[in-house]
């Protein structure tokens, strides 16, 4: 697993948890940081919250795609409930500079390294 | 004649492999197994008196990247998009066999927040109806 994320949740991604469950996500390493895609189908942009506390980025999303009571379920594969993902950011990440974009049920995050960690050229006197 | 289990060629090898073991050991752990992942998204099916509803989770896909086809009585949902930089392509295909009660000419589809909802109306003649006693 990428060193940006140390997963704090030990629960498996199963449908047994009723209230919150861990969404699928992927993290890619970039030249100047990382990018992440978190898959939150059924959640609208306004129902996604991101907060950073204790070196951890907490992503919560509420699903807003409930069905009318008159619909009788005959096959269930999706997890019911809301999403919760905790990503622990390593200390190279500038947590003040996280870009977030939400489109079609996918949250895309961009993380960059702290500026003072950028490679520097040292000139010889 | 032999009955051979149909394997969708689009599902990846590991998902079938995992499924095999999950199914074998499912009873041991008495826990439902969630087979869905990025390449094998979840589909829920609902019904009411007049319709059948399919809800497929397709996060990241736009309307143009999803192809819905009906051939004879088989409904196929296909979706394809470019992945993020290092990932080549995300593609997905899943078929459902519809029974005769579905009016295949009047299926409607809606995509919202990465969830595709298909509404499949039942044919008039197959709806439950009251028969009056003369």
Does the distance separating the beta carbons of A104 and B114 come in below 8 Å? yes
Q: Residues for chain B: how many in total? A: 134
Choose between B127 and A70: higher pLDDT.
A70
DSSP code, position B33 = -
Distance from CA of B89 to the nearest CA of A (A): 14
Q: Which two tokens stand for residue A38?
A: 């978190």
Residues of B in contact with A71 (CB under 8 A): 46-48, 53
Q: Cα–Cα distance between B86 and A108 in angstroms, integer?
A: 15
Mutate to test the interface with B, among A21, A78, A102 (most CBs of B within 10 A): A78
Q: With a threshold of 0.85, tell me whether the complex ipTM lies above it.
A: no
Cβ B96 vs Cβ B74: under 8 Å: yes
Does the distance separating the beta carbons of A72 and B47 come in below 8 Å? yes
Residue A99 CB contacts under 8 Å (≥ 6 apart), including other chains: A109, A110
Counting other chains too, the contacts that B64-67 makes at CB distance below 8 Å and 24 or more residues apart are: B66/B111, B66/B116
Does the distance separating the beta carbons of A24 and B37 come in below 8 Å? yes
Cβ A40 vs Cβ A61: under 8 Å: yes
Residue B11 CB contacts under 8 Å (≥ 6 apart), including other chains: B39, B40
pTM, whole model, 2 decimals? 0.71
Lowest-confidence region among A8-12, B59-63, B117-121: A8-12
B70-128, pLDDT tens digit by residue?
988 899 998 888 776 666 677 888 888 988 888 888 899 999 999 999 999 988 877 77
Does the distance separating the beta carbons of A13 and B34 come in below 8 Å? yes
Cβ B98 vs Cβ B118: under 8 Å: no
């Amino acid at each position: 697993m990428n060193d940006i994320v140390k997963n704090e949740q030990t629960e498996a991604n199963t449908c047994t948890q009723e209230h919150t469950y861990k969404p699928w996500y992927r993290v890619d390493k970039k030249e100047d940081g990382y990018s992440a895609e978190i898959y939150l189908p059924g959640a609208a942009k306004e129902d996604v919250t991101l907060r950073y506390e204790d070196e951890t980025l907490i992503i919560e999303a509420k699903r807003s795609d409930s069905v009318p009571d008159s619909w009788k379920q005959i096959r269930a594969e999706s997890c019911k409930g809301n999403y919760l993902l905790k990503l622990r950011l390593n200390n190279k990440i500038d947590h003040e500079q996280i870009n977030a974009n939400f489109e079609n049920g996918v949250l895309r995050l961009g993380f960059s390294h702290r500026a003072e960690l950028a490679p520097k050229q040292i000139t010889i006197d | 004649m032999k009955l051979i289990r149909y394997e969708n060629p689009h599902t990846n090898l590991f998902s079938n492999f995992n499924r095999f073991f999950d199914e074998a050991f499912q009873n041991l752990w008495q826990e439902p197994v969630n087979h869905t992942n990025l390449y094998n998204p979840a589909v829920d099916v609902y019904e009411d008196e007049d319709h059948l509803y399919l809800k497929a989770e397709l996060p990241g896909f736009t309307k143009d990247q999803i192809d819905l086809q009906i051939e004879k009585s088989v409904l196929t949902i296909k979706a394809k998009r470019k992945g993020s930089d290092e990932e080549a392509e995300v593609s997905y295909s899943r078929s459902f066999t519809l029974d005769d009660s579905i009016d295949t000419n009047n299926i409607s589809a809606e995509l919202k927040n990465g969830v595709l909802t298909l509404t499949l109306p039942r044919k008039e003649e197959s709806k439950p109806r009251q028969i009056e006693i003369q």
